[in-house]
Amino acid sequence: MRISLPRIGLGGAPLGNMFHPLSEAAADATLQAAWDAGFRYYDVSPHYGAGLAEQRFGRLLSGKPRDEFVLSTKVGRLLQPASAPENAKPFVDELPNKRVPDYSADGARRSIEDSLERLGVDRLDVVFIHDVSEDQWGPQWRDYFQQAMSGAAKGLTEMREQGLIRGWGLGVNLVEPCRMALEQADPDVFLLAGRYSLLDHREALETLFPRCLERGVGIVVGGPFNSGVLAGGDHFEYDRIPDEIRDRKARLDQVAQRFGVDLRAAAIHFCLAHPAVLSTIPGTANPARPAQYMGYYQARVPAEFWQALKHEGLLGEDVPVPA
């Protein structure tokens, strides 16, 4: 793989008031708990709370030695001061900033400069071009994608060659833009959210990951719990849980209970079993969770559990599982 990353990191979306408002004290406590639990990879974005998540991460990370952690953020939306928060779904109680789509090379550089200021650090390790996908922009998404390939992608490639960043890629919720980026650009890593999990993995497994392995392009799995459903939450893909997903989750729970496995631990280990996957980054706004997540990562999941999932048709025979 072109770059290496810690195997588990902290996803930043919940710290931008995703779904629910979060006090500054709770945000600080959550981030401190993550540091204390041993998390050393942090992923964030200007989109999360319109700058709020970056600001919160900055309060912790600006006081830590820069060589002791890995940091990624995203480009594609510039933030401009506004008279009131946008509160763009799924975020609430955001900072009063307006998002302006900009996937140009200059826009990417400006976005990075703004992020560095909010984060209080002097450099980034990885930069993801954020949300160049149909779920975000509808039919217009291909226009934004092409702007990104001719603009931000080239600018980030230059920054990598200059040693200003270690690598770049896309940060998206869909597989197709990643496949297209492999054909048109020279990425190092993709952050793919929600598309490689116990509940949803077939498209990535068949159409993206083999190409990534051929090119040495790594994967960061975002949303290993699919917005919370695999951790007992009430969201799937940032929305209500469909009945078929609820039924599949219940079947997974039954197998997990039979083998005494915590399904949250299984969700993390499943993501990391594929050789293309560098890291997974569960997110939280609860100070108790980081230590639990690290415990799931360190837990042992018996081979018999994975065999049972395949036997019951919950995983295909070709799906990589932990040895």
Q: Phi-psi category of 179—alpha, beta or left, where left has phi over 0 and alpha has psi -120 to 50?
A: alpha
Sign of torsion over alpha carbons 136, 139, 140, 144: positive
* CA separation for the pair 116, 61 (Å, rounded): 11
Are the beta carbons of 129 and 187 closer than 8 angstroms? no
Residue 125 sits at the vertex; the CA angle it makes with 59 and 273, to the nearest 5 degrees, is 105
Catalytic residues: 48
| Bridging pattern class, strands 167-172 and 126-130 | parallel
Q: What is the Cα–Cα distance from 111 to 51, expressed in whole angstroms?
A: 11
Give which of 220, 216, 156 is closest to 194, Cα–Cα.
220
Using CA atoms, how far residue 276 sits from 40, 188, 220, in Å, is: 20, 12, 9
